[in-house]
Chains A and B, each alone.
Chain A
């Protein structure tokens, strides 16, 4: 069941085609990573989903039905370019933003108290935003994004400006929201957090979706058939036409060997082959990191285009 689907979204700015038939499908209750180099069209897509701008063509479905104006209240959006009224008190500000998203005053007040307590910031209520540090402001912004209990939370570069400690707080919040059944759309350049948090991703490059799907499947698809063995041995001298040794590293009484195998050869056969000669302590197939997938997908497309 997809919570959000975009179908063939096209958006043209003056001389620049920002989105060229972009379709993504975000499953309910998952964290979805929206990746891509700068200027690929991620923010444009997000702005279309949040109804800030209208697409030239294409449709957006929420829970399988067309998206309407009222649906914006089900979305919590933390833009990349974000800020708060500098002269306004933190509490008043969050109240204002919550009410703008259709919450009643009373309801907003209850939720605000709950969130402020959870983030340990109840004593900030009467402080002006300009008195807060950037990290503190980000926390307030995050609360303002989720205070109206949205079903879909869209976070554009949520970790920029956060120290690792505060970034972890936000990561935990994202996972907690997911466990509550909320759908999270996350746009970020931080590939480690993508691996950590995302279930599915879409990679947008040059206005098109170039990769889409489950993160594990994608990493699998991009594997280079590199296996890492840890052997109880002084050296590794086996040679075979079905594999090549990439590197060897001696550590105390064992040795770490990285092997590039031929695609035709099954992993189990290779293990059997090595196990016949050397005692294997551990064995692991190296999956490419999201960073490597990203780089390889983006560069291969650029090569194709040129």
Chain B
């Protein structure tokens, strides 16, 4: 076997056989799914305790409208009992006190919900809905009583209000053949952000791993033994390729595990039902979405394309950042000294991440557009934009710029690496490091 192969093999196998790697690789998808499903599942569990709410209605108009549910019991207290002091018993005997002091159709501010703990959003929405409906009816009653409008119109208006407007925008995308198909911009956003997060985490952690590996060889003083029989550039390539393969292995295992786990969970009726109902809950104001629609939307996303581009951008971004990280590792002697050089890289990556994040709002805006071509940000930003569908030339140009610049950066990095690994002692300045590149 040639030396480059040997180096790649050692870098790869010494990492994938580590217990921490195996544990992390297996448990991460489980943890990830748990993070996604447990809150969904928990949200569907009903609060076992029924909350008591005291309704003190001075007008007596609104109190009868409140119907107790599984979660809340409304206890209506007449104006006469108001002298009884409820406030000290709040939090013990009742959850909240709803006080209506005046006719809301005239003075809509005169309603208060007093509680000790934070009031759940659903309760507040419920109360507001009940009151709004009642007030609407009140106003319509007044209108009809005034006799200025004929009774038939009022009946029609009532009907319109009861049935609701129910507007819901369906987003459709036009493909090249001119067919429209249903898509969900929300789903595109979720997919985009998931891949952006993934690529960001991978660039950071695997780039950092390359730096650690370079630094470790330098610190343990084995590097001079190695470069006496191996060209430094081969050592660097071997390291970057070996560690990159570890990253791809982890991705592959995750994809496999996530795929099979979601399939298993999807078959389980509890989860599929719960997921459907809870997405209904979440989309309360929107048109309810059912599971089959979600599945259909999932199918509108071109997974093959996204995964393919993910791998292409991952490799490009990884080699680019790993070259820079290797340069840093070779330039210093110890961990503390890396901080100063790490700073700008971390800031650039963070910027890329935020640029990606904000590109969701406007995937074709100038920020997203230009960051798609800057090699330091393109791998991260492009992952957001691709699920939204962008012109092919943008993707191709972005890849060309990324790969072109990683060639340039890695050649420069190799020059620095070659000199830096043999330098011990004081921390070099950036100026000195640049001079190293000129050494023969």
* Chain A interface (Cβ < 8 Å from any Cβ of B): 13-14, 47, 50-56, 72-73, 75, 77-79, 81-88, 96-97, 99-102, 141, 144
Chain A residues positioned under 8 Å from B435 (CB to CB): 14
A81 near B424 with CB under 8 A, answer yes
Q: How far is the CB of A71 from chain B (nearest CB, A)?
A: 11
A73-B229, A100-B7, A141-B225 given. 20 additional CB < 8 A pairs?
A: A13-B439, A52-B228, A52-B232, A53-B422, A53-B439, A55-B440, A72-B229, A77-B224, A77-B225, A77-B228, A79-B224, A81-B224, A82-B222, A83-B221, A85-B217, A87-B14, A96-B6, A99-B6, A100-B226, A100-B230
Q: How far is the CB of A106 from chain B (nearest CB, A)?
A: 12
Partner of A72, one of B217, B221, B228: B228
Can you spell out 11 A-B residue pairs with CB atoms less than 8 angstroms apart?
A47-B422, A52-B224, A73-B229, A77-B228, A81-B221, A82-B221, A82-B225, A83-B220, A84-B220, A86-B220, A88-B14
- B229, A101: Cβ atoms closer than 8 Å: yes
Q: Out of B7, B217, B228, name the residue touching A79 (CB < 8 Å).
A: B228
| Choice from B3, B221, B422 contacting A100 with Cβ under 8 Å | B3
Check if B169 is an interface residue, CB within 8 A of chain A. Answer: no
Question: Which B414-440 residues sit within 8 Å CB-CB of chain A?
Answer: 422, 424, 432, 435, 439-440
Query: Is B220 a contact of A85 with CB atoms below 8 Å?
Result: yes
Interchain nearest-CB distance for A60 vs B (Å):
14
Which residues of chain A come closer than 8 Å to B230, judged between CB atoms?
A: 100
Determine the residue in chain B with the shortest Cβ distance to A52.
Answer: B227
Rounded to whole angstroms, the CA-CA distance of A55 and B440 in the bound complex is: 7
**Complex-state Cα separation, A75 to B229, whole angstroms:** 9
Task: Return B269 CB to nearest CB of chain A, in Å.
Answer: 48
CA distance A101 to B439 in the complex (A): 26
**CB within 8 Å: A-B pair count:** 70
Knowing A13-B439, A52-B422, A81-B424, the reply to whether A100 touches B229 (Cβ < 8 A) is yes
How many angstroms between the C-alpha atoms of A82 and B3 in the bound complex? 20
- The CA of A33 and the CA of B6, in the complex, are separated in Å by 34
The CA of A88 and the CA of B18, in the complex, are separated in Å by 12
Q: A residues within 8 A CB of B79?
A: none
B222 touches A83 (CB 8 A): yes
A102 surroundings in chain B (CB, below 8 A): 3, 229
Can you list, as one digit per residue, whether each of B1-43 has a CB less than 8 Å from chain A (1) or not (0)? 1010011001000100000000000000000000000000000
Report A-chain residues with C-beta under 8 Å of the C-beta of B226.
97, 100
Closest to A156 in B: B224
Chain B's interface size range is 20 to 34
Q: Identify the B interface with A (CB < 8 A).
A: 1, 3, 6-7, 10, 14, 216-217, 220-222, 224-230, 232, 422, 424, 432, 435, 439-440
Contact of B222 among A13, A73, A84 (CB under 8 A): A84
A17 to chain B, nearest CB (A): 14
Main DSSP-derived SS at the A contact region: loop
Give the 10 A-B residue pairs with the shortest CB-CB distance, closest first: A83-B221, A79-B224, A83-B220, A77-B228, A50-B228, A101-B229, A81-B221, A83-B222, A54-B440, A100-B229
The answer for the CA separation of A52 and B226 in the assembled complex, in Å, is 10
With contact pairs A72-B229, A79-B225 given, residues A100 and B6 touching in the complex (Cβ less than 8 Å): yes
* Distance in angstroms between the alpha carbons of A73 and B230 in the assembled complex: 10
Are A99 and B1 in touch, CB under 8 angstroms? yes
Separation of A50 and B227 alpha carbons in the complex (Å): 9
Contact among B10, B221, B227, B440 with A96 in the assembled complex (CB-CB below 8 Å): B10
